[in-house]
Amino acid sequence: MSNSADKYNFGMIGLGTMGRNLLLNMADHGVAGAGYDKDASKGALLEEEGKNTKVKGFSDVKEFTASLTSPKAIMMLVPAGKIVDSVIEELLPYLDKGDILIDGGNSHFTDTNRRVEYLESKGFHFFGMGISGGEEGARRGPSMMPGGDKEAYNVMKPILESIAAKVEGAPCVTYIGPGAAGHFVKMVHNGIEYGLMQLLAETYEVMQRGLQLKNEEIHQVFIKWNEGRLQSFLMEVTRDIFGYIAPGSDHLLLDDIKDEAKSKGTGKWTSQVAMDLMAPIPTIDTAVSMRDLSKYKSLREKADQIYNQSSLALDVDKEAFLTELEQAFYFSMVLSYAQGLHLLSKASEEFGYDLKLDEIAKIWRGGCIIRSGFLNEIYNAFQKAPALPHLLLDEAVAALIKESLPGMRSVVSKSTAVGIAIPAYTASLSYFDAFKSGRMPSNLVQAQRDYFGAHTYELIGKEGVFHTQWVEKI
């Protein structure tokens, strides 16, 4: 790319699909954007796709930074990890105090905390921002979750609001909180996404192997569901996949895809942090585990030969069971959101994020991967009671859960009885049943811990901790 005397309001580092499309989105809203990528062909593609707007690609970092107005505002959209630190170090010689740097990738929140402190100590403004919506969202309007330097966010707010998805006129972006709050919320967003995707996969399994529906019949079910209370982006995605014929064939492309799911780590991070904060999210944990299990193809095939019966067919009335399956999916969808939001609540307390869960639900309603009609119920619940400790305690949500519970129990019991694997469904139901238990059998666990490890226990109605010598010492 050549030198230019023109100045640009915003800089983007990383001109892959997301970076290029975000810059083009900004250009559509009157923002002159410069993009930097060591691969000059990516800068050329940016200019080609944005030929009627003010965008320019650079492959030299000095020329790139010199093209920006002051104070400079630069977003990095590069893979998470050490490469982010490398890009920062490459940039620093060309930045002035007061310049703004944004990490728009899926960085781990602990890395973001470290970078906030490091860059602030050098006089730069920095915030981490989760971005959801994929390629189409970046180009037409994503959901964005910025957290960190609020002063810097306020400077960038007009641009971010202009490019964000809009729902009822409201932009799907808001300041999330200090430090790494934005990246933490995006991580949990991705965890919820894992849970919902696994539930859809298990729904497919039940319809295909249990009800023995043909692909077109399954397609029609997803079409119908997306027109009702299960409406969501992921339901739309699933519907469309069941309508896509492999080029040059008469069958679905889906049928040619290996049953081995990959991941980039954000689901795993969510599970790890949830365990650290003692905020149980078993639906999400199970989704992570099932992606891992899917990779053991040869082991699964050997076990299939040893253990599996010839048929997993359900002996049920199909239409009646599909009604129950719709209830079960709704129930489990609610549980996936509820677990993720409970984790956010715990993190807000632990890390001082002061998260506004109603505002988070509001910006998730458009542009993002987990957008759904149910987010309006979540928004209403936390608008009504900002300090609500758990979504399942909301009166309106409780009514929806009670309505869906019979179908949930039926689907889980009938499917597991014939050997259909629906671990995210069963995890959702077991979590719910334990959550509503006023008294759990954990007293036995504590007694066991005291028996072999002298870990002590507490007694009902008595202050203090106690230890018992459960058997005579030899």
193 is catalytic: yes
Give the integer Cα–Cα distance in Å for 81 and 216. 42
Helical H segments across 4-100, by residue range: 17-28, 40-49, 61-66, 82-91
43 is in an annotated binding site: no
Give the integer Cα–Cα distance in Å for 120 and 100. 10
Asked if 51 and 5 touch (Cβ cutoff 8 Å), the reply is: no
Residue in 128, 137, 139 with CA at minimum distance from that of residue 106: 128
Give the integer Cα–Cα distance in Å for 304 and 72. 59
Structure tokens at 47: 């200019």
How far is Cα of residue 214 from the mean position of the Cα atoms in its chain? Answer: 31
DSSP state, residue 252:
B
194 is in an annotated binding site: yes
449 is in an annotated binding site: yes
3 is in an annotated binding site: no
DSSP state, residue 24:
H
What is the distance between the terminal CA atoms of the chain, rounded to a whole angstrom?
83
Structure tokens at 147: 């957290």
Handedness of CA 412, 418, 419, 420 (dihedral sign): negative
The two beta strands, 143-148 and 73-76, are: unpaired
Per annotation, catalytic residue among 56, 72, 193, 202: 193
362 is in an annotated binding site: no
Per annotation, catalytic residue among 42, 56, 72, 186: 186
108 is in an annotated binding site: no
For residue 165, the SS3 value is coil
The number of beta carbons lying within 10 Å of the beta carbon of residue 390 is: 14
Handedness of CA 35, 38, 39, 40 (dihedral sign): positive
139 is in an annotated binding site: no
DSSP state, residue 209:
I
CA distance readout (Å), 461 to 69, 270, 464: 67, 37, 10
Structure tokens at 188: 């949990």
51 is catalytic: no
183 is in an annotated binding site: no
132 is in an annotated binding site: yes
Give the integer Cα–Cα distance in Å for 183 and 428. 26
Task: Provide the b/e sequence for 398-409 (b: ≥16 CB within 10 Å).
Answer: eebbeebbebbb
229 is in an annotated binding site: no
Give the integer Cα–Cα distance in Å for 106 and 84. 10
Give the integer Cα–Cα distance in Å for 403 and 390. 19
336 is in an annotated binding site: no
Q: Which class for 287: exposed (0-12), middle (13-18), buried (19 or more C-beta within 10 A)?
A: buried
* Peptide bond before residue 71 is cis, with ω within 30 degrees of 0: yes
Binding site: what residues are annotated?
A: 106, 132-134, 189-190, 194, 264, 291, 449, 455
Binding site for substrate: what residues are annotated?
A: 106, 132-134, 189-190, 194, 264, 291, 449, 455
- The set of catalytic residues is 186, 193
